[in-house]
Amino acid sequence: MQTFQNMTLAATLAAITLIAPAAFAASDTAEPVDQSIYEGRETLPDPSEGNCDVEKSLVEFKDNLYRHTNGSFPATHSGLVLITDEGALVVDAGNTCVAKWLQEEIKTRFDADIKYVVQTHAHWDHLAGTQVWQDAGATVIAQRNAIEPIIGEKLPVATPDRVFDNEAEIELGGETILLHHEPAGNHSNSMVQVVFPKQSAMQCTDVCQSKTFPYMDFLDFYYPGWIKTLDWVIEQDVDLIDVGHYNDPATTEDIVALRDYMTDLHAQVLELSRQGMNWDQLWRNVTAGNEYRDEWFGYEYMRRANIEGMFRWVDNHRRGVW
Ligand SMILES: [Zn+2]
């Protein structure tokens, strides 16, 4: 018995020794993309290639989670950066020249290589620069629907190495990072929210807002999925949300206010349309968002465009007695 116990102990110790490094090996639940299909694909010229003359930063967000930015308010583009013993995970880039700077900054300050890159959605302004990090050996993950526009629009960005449908997990440096996609769409049909449970933080680019009106006329817009996404974000109840732009992180309270603004705007535009108002009359009668005139950024720039975008959605999705 004694011998058996000793053997078991020895076997257990051996197993721990073998398992321990593997438990911290970077991994993910996404699926590989056959990159050979897209080898040598045609891309458009990259306007951000030599454009380093912009403000850029890498600042603490919470604990070992940082925020990278390029460009100045209100045209700032941003994404979160997780630093671990096993390397860095970076969300989006937004400028090819700044991506080279950020790679060196992460190496100099944290002695870390970029292991994972998450592409939030297939819009060039957020993904420019991801090619730099893929060329340096990072694994690029996106939602499956991102492939079609990246290839079809000839975007000068990394073709994803791995894709997922609705949910995926990345393990890096002993931390679990969660990727979420709303299949009904929101801002594009390839959007990914990235949750960092240990830091109670989230990347919710373009769909979430931090005391700002949503961008212009809701380009690449899916109304029902946008509301479902905001409901899901509210359920996660994280402390800090980076919205991919501007300066300040959003809170769950900001997302509740945004959801209520968008549902009000939708209800008003639908009701006024049903009253038979034409566009010139309709937009002047919308009151949604007036309460945030001084509190949120963009009342003058965004709100009328918001009404226009919502009108376009509503007009495309209703039919009366005809
Ligand atoms: Zn976008």
Domain that holds residue 147: 35-250
Supply the DSSP string of 97-127, one letter for each residue: HHHHHHHHHHHHHH---EEEEE--SS-HHHH
What distance in angstroms lies between residue 19's CA and the mean position of ligand 1's atoms?
41
Q: What mean pLDDT is predicted for residues 153-182?
A: 98
In a domain, 79, yes or no: yes
Q: Write the CA distances from 228 to 201, 254, 260, integer angstroms.
A: 19, 16, 12
Does 272 map to a domain?
no
Whole-model pTM: value is 0.91
Distance CA 278, CA 60 (A): 49
Band (pLDDT 50/70/90 cuts) for residue 24 is: confident
Number of domains, the chain: 1
> 318 C-alpha to center of ligand 1: Å?
26
Distance between alpha carbon 227 and the CA centroid of its chain, in Å? 16
- With pLDDT > 90 as the criterion, what percentage of the chain qualifies? 89
Residue 240 placed within a domain: yes
Q: Measured in angstroms, how far is the CA atom of residue 146 from the centroid of ligand 1?
A: 12
Is 289 within a domain?
Answer: no
The pLDDT value recorded for residue 1 is: 41
Q: Compute the average pLDDT of residues 127-155.
A: 98
- Percentage of the chain beyond pLDDT 70 is 93
CATH number, domain containing residue 204: 3.60.15.10
Q: Do the domain assignments include residue 322?
A: no
Above 60 in pLDDT, residue 20?
no
Q: How far is the CA of 241 from the centre of ligand 1 (A)?
A: 16
Q: Using CB atoms within 10 Å of the CB of residue 116, give its burial: 0 to 12 exposed, 13 to 18 middle, 19+ buried.
A: buried
CB 214, CB 292: distance < 8 Å = no
CA of 24 to the centre of ligand 1 (A): 33
Cα-based distances in Å from 319 to 166, 256, 310: 32, 30, 16
Ligand 1 mean position to 38 CA, how many Å? 23
Which pLDDT score, from 0 to 100, does residue 8 have?
A: 53
Tell me the CA–centroid distance for residue 322 and ligand 1, in Å. 36
As a whole number, the mean pLDDT across the chain is: 93
Ligand 1 center to 321 CA (angstroms): 36
Confidence of residue 51 (pLDDT cuts 50, 70, 90): confident
143, part of any domain: yes
45, 68, 36: which is closest to 161 by C-alpha? 36
Whole-number Å distance, alpha carbon 250 to ligand 1 midpoint, is: 17
- 103 alpha carbon to ligand 1 midpoint, in Å? 23
Within a domain: residue 290?
no
Structure tokens at 64: 């070992």
Please determine, for residue 52, whether its predicted confidence score (pLDDT) is greater than 60: yes
Q: Does 216 map to a domain?
A: yes
Above 90 in pLDDT, residue 17? no
